[in-house]
Amino acid sequence: MTATHAERAAARFREEPWTAAVIGLGYVGLPLAVTAVQAGLRCIGFDVSRLVVEQLRAGHSHIGDVSHEELAGALASGLEVTDEPQLLSQADAILIAVPSPLGRNRQPDMSYIESAAETVRAVARPGQLVSLESTTYPGTTDDLIVPAATAGGRQLDRDVFVAFSPERVDPGNERTTGQIPKVVGGVSEASGAVAEAAYRRLVAALHRVSSARAAEMTKLLENTYRAVNIGLINELAQLAHELDIDIWEVVDAADTKPFGFQAFYPGPGVGGHCIPLDPQFLAWRAREAKFATRFIDLAEQVNTRMPAYNADRVAELLNAQGRPVWGTRILGVGVAYKPNVSDDRESPAWDVLAELARRGADIGVLDPLVDPERVAERGYRPVNGSGSVSDHALAVLLTDHDDLDLARLAKEVPAVFDTRGAYRKRGIDAPNVTAL
């Protein structure tokens, strides 16, 4: 019996050498390109930024999860970095990993995905797989990528195959892209089978779903689940404070239950590239369908209020010292969006400090990983970790990097407000530390 176009394509991806192309060489795309090379494939990495391309060609990685040494090894093993889109036509699979931010009114900004789709429209050739990895609302792959891939008379599942496979990058974690299980969904059964064959060459574990829409919603569920549960514990943290109960003790106690409970902890807000953004893709798509996402909206309200609430708690502690917020030197400790990374984008720490600055505080920032120039750009005083911090009336611990000497901080600053429960986690008993 004669094999179908999809069966032949899937066999080629499973059994033969092939070339991958990655559009977008940022926090998702560069690790994906390196993973492809490590899997023994030739890879073409494309980025519209000439500066990024030149830096990568010189062996300088701008991504914390890809070391300079790993990049050099990938370049030596077949990674080609370019800003010339026509080279993408040489690839057998084009993987799109461009940013998908929110706009000013928290609606999806599809401009990067639309631009990538136009690139695909111009370079796609028969036999190619096109897979979108950028987080987005359900229906994007069908609505934007399929028309681009099938332009010019190319036929879906005969000439081109289209799928969605959400990125699951975890910056700062030792798990590599290839070690994280992959979810894959094709816009059709045939495209799904081809995408599964291709991705099995890249990752150790794969779960295929019935459609691109299901795969798109899978990613949104993962982070909406986290956002809603963080919203719940942030609200309970405020209630516990009013009732004079230690919320950290309560969570630790509940976490002893071996079933039916997963611990989430309060903090200064939600940060990173996923949790503050992804639920809003789903909420926006729901509004189009005239459906109210009440859990998502409520969690958003609670979480976005947390920076101001944390500033209120700081004001309470200063009042206990007989100090106003206005004119008082406050030290923000840790401004990255999560521990042990240098990435401060979408970090709630900045929102806490902005609220304190709005109230007149003199803000210094201590972070051993974030570039002091980034701190200065925000209008705050960078504080050197090796110097004295004792000229601040209070320190706000916002991100608990492992390299921070928390015991020393508590000794040198009259009061510490710990938004992360870090002193409890490390077993440091300091009477001048107050937890959120």
Task: List the one residue out of 96, 20, 26 whose CA is nearest residue 61.
Answer: 26
Task: List the one residue out of 134, 97, 126, 111 whose CA is nearest residue 22.
Answer: 97
Catalytic hit among 81, 163, 202, 274: 274
Residue 242 CB partners (closer than 8 Å, separation 6+): none
Between 272 and 111, the higher pLDDT residue: 111
| Mean pLDDT, range 391-398, rounded to an integer | 97
Q: SS3 letters for 375-414? A: HHHCCCEECCCCCCCCCCCEEEECCCCCCCCHHHHHHHCC
Q: Is 43 a catalytic residue?
A: no
Looking at CATH, the fold of the domain delimited by 226-435 is given as Rossmann fold (3.40.50)
Question: 106-150, pLDDT tens digit by residue?
Answer: 889 999 999 999 999 999 999 999 999 999 999 999 999 999 999
Q: How confident is the model at residue 177 (pLDDT cuts 50, 70, 90)?
A: confident
Q: Is the pLDDT score of 403 beyond 60? A: yes
168-182, 250-264, 389-403: least confidently modelled range: 168-182
Mean pLDDT (the chain, rounded): 94
Q: How confident is the model at residue 173 (pLDDT cuts 50, 70, 90)?
A: confident
Domain layout of the chain by residue ranges: 5-210, 226-435
Question: 15-70, pLDDT tens digit by residue?
Answer: 999 999 999 999 999 999 999 999 999 999 999 999 999 999 999 999 888 999 99
Between 173 and 308, the higher pLDDT residue: 308
**pLDDT of the residue at 401:** 96
Q: Is the dihedral of CA 77, 198, 130, 220 positive or negative?
A: negative
Which class is 5-210 in CATH? alpha beta
Residue 186 CB partners (closer than 8 Å, separation 6+): 161, 162, 163, 192, 193, 194, 195, 196, 211, 212
Provide the CB-side half-sphere exposure for 44 (13 A, CA): 19
Taking the C-alpha atoms of residue 35 and residue 164, their distance in angstroms, rounded to an integer, is 18
**pLDDT of the residue at 235:** 98
**Model confidence, pTM:** 0.92
Q: How confident is the model at residue 247 (pLDDT cuts 50, 70, 90)?
A: very high
Q: Is the pLDDT score of 174 beyond 80? A: no
- 5-210 and 226-435: identical CATH topology: yes
Task: List the one residue out of 261, 359, 264 whose CA is nearest residue 308.
Answer: 359
- Copy the structure tokens of residue 428: 């440091």
